[in-house]
Amino acid sequence: MPCQEHVIAVRDHLDRLGEALPIVITFSDDPARLAAYRAHLQIEFPVLADVDRVLYRVFGAGRGSLRRVWSPGTLAMYARLVRRGRRLRGPTEDTRQLGADAVIDREGRLSRLWLPPGPDARPSVEEIIGAVRELEQG
């Protein structure tokens, strides 16, 4: 759920990303579920399946320990989401897979990479927008 909240935050600030195109890479074990994922989160940008986690390995996003993934910060994040009315659902994928956020230039070169140590430490949308603007200003 923290990853979904991160995608929703990006979606809600899409107009501030200029011409940048967000792409969500998921390690879904069933690519057929991607359309439902997009509909559930009400996103219109691409969502790609990385079933073999090739990009996760390229970016260096490994699996976290149970202690890291279910840290007090992560549990507090879940509590905040529930207080705001979010409904918890059982996990359908590997909850220990750590995420990554990347800004890639038009030539396909990695411009900025975030490898948060846990689900509660993703970069803010402001940080991502700042990295996109830096790239655009060259």
Extract the tokens encoding 76.
């507090």
Quote the percentage of the chain above a pLDDT of 70: 98
Phi, psi angles (nearest 5°) of residue 23: -130, 130
**How confident is the model at residue 65, as a pLDDT?**
95
Q: How confident is the model at residue 58 (pLDDT cuts 50, 70, 90)?
A: very high
Q: What CATH number belongs to 2-137?
A: 3.40.30.10
| Average pLDDT of the residues of the chain | 87
Q: Where are the domains of the chain?
A: 2-137
User: Long-range contacts made by residues 48-56, C-beta under 8 angstroms, separation at least 24?
Assistant: 48/23, 48/24, 49/25, 50/25, 50/26, 51/27, 53/27, 53/97, 55/25, 56/25, 56/27, 56/97, 56/100
Average pLDDT over residues 99-122: 90
Enclosing H/E stretch for 138: none
pLDDT beyond 90 at 66 = yes
**How confident is the model at residue 16, as a pLDDT?**
86
CB 26 within 8 A of CB 53: no
Place of tokens 């979606």: 11
CB 132 within 8 A of CB 103: yes
Helices (H), the chain: 2-12, 34-41, 54-59, 66-69, 72-83, 125-137
pLDDT beyond 90 at 108 = no
**How confident is the model at residue 21, as a pLDDT?**
74
Extract the tokens encoding 40.
């559930």
**How confident is the model at residue 113, as a pLDDT?**
94
Extract the tokens encoding 48.
């790609």
Q: How confident is the model at residue 1 (pLDDT cuts 50, 70, 90)?
A: low
**How confident is the model at residue 90, as a pLDDT?**
81
Extract the tokens encoding 63.
């699996």
